[in-house]
Amino acid sequence: MSSTCAALALFASVDGAALTAVKEALAHHRSAEQEYAGAIFRCDDQYGYTTPRTSGRHDRVRVQITLPKGSKLAAIYHTHPGAAHEARFFSEGDTESAAQLRVPSYLGVVRTGDIRLLVPGTFRPGFVTLGQTIHLGEDTPQGGPARMTWKVDR
C-alpha cells in the first residue's frame, strides 16, 4: 500500500530531495558495497524521495519503486560503489534509463562523495560545488560531456 503525499516529509526543490536521498543512499555504503537506487517524486509543488533500495549487486541495481499516491516521478537516483575511475561517471545504461523515463538522474559516487546530475537531452558540461559557481568544460573519460556535480559533506 502506497503512502499519500500529505503524510510525507517534502522539500521545496527536486535538488533538495535528491541531495538528501543520495546522502542517505551513500550512508548505506558504510556497511555494503552494493548499488542503491530510488525515485524523486513531485507532490503538488513539493518533492520527496523513496527509501534507497538495492538488488544486492555491486555493478547494477534493478528495483521496483512504488510512488506515493497522488505523486508524479520527477527524477531517479542511484549510487556507484567501488574504487574504479569509471564509478565516477554515468554508465550507458544509466543514460538510457534517464532518457527513457524522461527525468533527470542523480548519481552518488561512493569513493569521492560527489553527487552528479544527468539531465536527458542536455549537453552542457559543468562541475558545481554547493554554494559555488559553475565551471564549464570538464569531460568524461570517453570524451563526452561531463554532468553537473555537487560535492557534499557526509
Over residues 78-127, the pLDDT tens digits come to: 999 887 778 888 888 888 888 888 899 999 988 888 888 888 876 443 33
Which range, 5-14, 90-99, 141-150, has the best average confidence (pLDDT)? Answer: 90-99
Instruction: Please answer whether residues 103 and 51 qualify as being in contact, where contact means their C-beta atoms are separated by less than 8 angstroms.
Output: no
Would you say residue 49 has pLDDT above 70?
Answer: yes
SS3 67: coil
In a domain, 83, yes or no: yes
The amino acid that residue 128 corresponds to is V
In a domain, 121, yes or no: no
Residue 100: phi, psi to the nearest 5?
-65, -40
In a domain, 104, yes or no: yes
If one counts the domains in the chain, the total is: 1
Instruction: Please answer whether residues 71 and 109 qualify as being in contact, where contact means their C-beta atoms are separated by less than 8 angstroms.
Output: no
In a domain, 124, yes or no: no
Name 59's Cβ contacts closer than 8 Å, sequence gap at least 6. Answer: 35
CA atoms within 13 A on the CB side of 84: 12
In a domain, 94, yes or no: yes
In a domain, 153, yes or no: no
In a domain, 55, yes or no: yes
In a domain, 144, yes or no: no
- Please give the residue that has the higher pLDDT: either 76 or 54: 76
Q: Can you give the residue range of the structural domain that contains 38?
A: 5-113
Q: What angle do CA 25, 127, 88 make, to 5 degrees?
A: 45
